[in-house]
Amino acid sequence: MSAQTPSCQLLERDAFSKDPDFASFWAIAPPDDPWLLSAAAGVVSADQALHERFAAQSTPVVSPLDEATEAKLRGGTIHAVVLFWPKALRLGGWWLDWLNQTLPDGTPVAVVGEHQGGIRRVPKWLAERGLECDKRDGARRCSVFVTQTRAPDALPAERLASQAWERFTARDMQMVSHPGVFGHGKVDEGTTLLLDTLEGALGDTPLKVLDVGCGDGIISAWLARQGHNVSAVDVNHFAVEACRRTLAENGADGCVLASDVYSALGDERFDLIISNPPFHQEREIDYGAAGRLIAEASGHLTKGGKLVLVANAFLPYAVPLERAFGTFDVLADNRRFKVYRACIARYALF
From 133, 159, 185, give the residue that closes a domain: 159
Q: Give pTM, 2 decimals.
A: 0.92
- pLDDT, tens only, 23-48: 899 999 999 999 999 999 999 999 99
Contacts of 29 (CB under 8 A, 6+ apart): 44, 45, 46, 47, 83, 84, 86, 95
Same domain, 295 and 328: yes
> What would the pLDDT profile of 53-103 be if each residue is shown by its tens digit?
999 999 999 999 998 887 777 766 788 999 999 989 999 999 999 999 889
The answer on 63 and 27 residing in a single domain is yes
CATH number of the domain that residue 258 is part of: 3.40.50.150
348 within domain boundaries? no
Q: Which amino acid is at 119?
A: I
129 and 210 together in one domain: no
Residue 14, pLDDT score: 66
Domain-located, residue 45: yes
Give the total number of structural domains in the chain. Answer: 2
Query: Are 177 and 185 in contact, with CB atoms under 8 Å apart?
Result: yes
Whether 153 has a pLDDT exceeding 80, the answer reads no
The boundaries of the domain holding residue 155 are 6-159
Q: Is the pLDDT of residue 129 over 80?
A: yes
Among 125, 159, 193, the domain-final residue is 159
Could you tell me if 67 and 170 lie in one domain? no
The pLDDT assigned to 237 comes to: 97
Same domain? For 152 and 177 the reply is no
Q: Does residue 301 fall inside a structural domain?
A: yes
Give CA separation, 293 vs 66, 230, 277, 344, in Å.
27, 17, 8, 14
pLDDT at 280: 45
β-strand pairing of 166-170 with 173-177: antiparallel
Query: Could you tell me where the DSSP H helices lie in 122-188?
Result: 122-128
Same domain, 147 and 169: no
Among 159, 191, 207, the domain-final residue is 159
Q: Are residues 116 and 208 in the same domain?
A: no
User: What residues contact residue 228 under an 8 Å CB cut-off, 6+ apart?
Assistant: 202, 206, 207, 208, 209, 272
The 8-class DSSP code of residue 247 comes to H
DSSP label at 154? G
DSSP 277-300: ---EETTEE--HHHHHHHHTGGGG
Q: Tell me if 1 is assigned to some domain.
A: no
Of 122, 124, 129, the residue nearest 82 (C-alpha): 122
- Per-residue model confidence as pLDDT tens digits over 244-278: 999 999 999 999 999 999 999 999 999 999 999 97
Same domain (yes/no): 143, 218: no
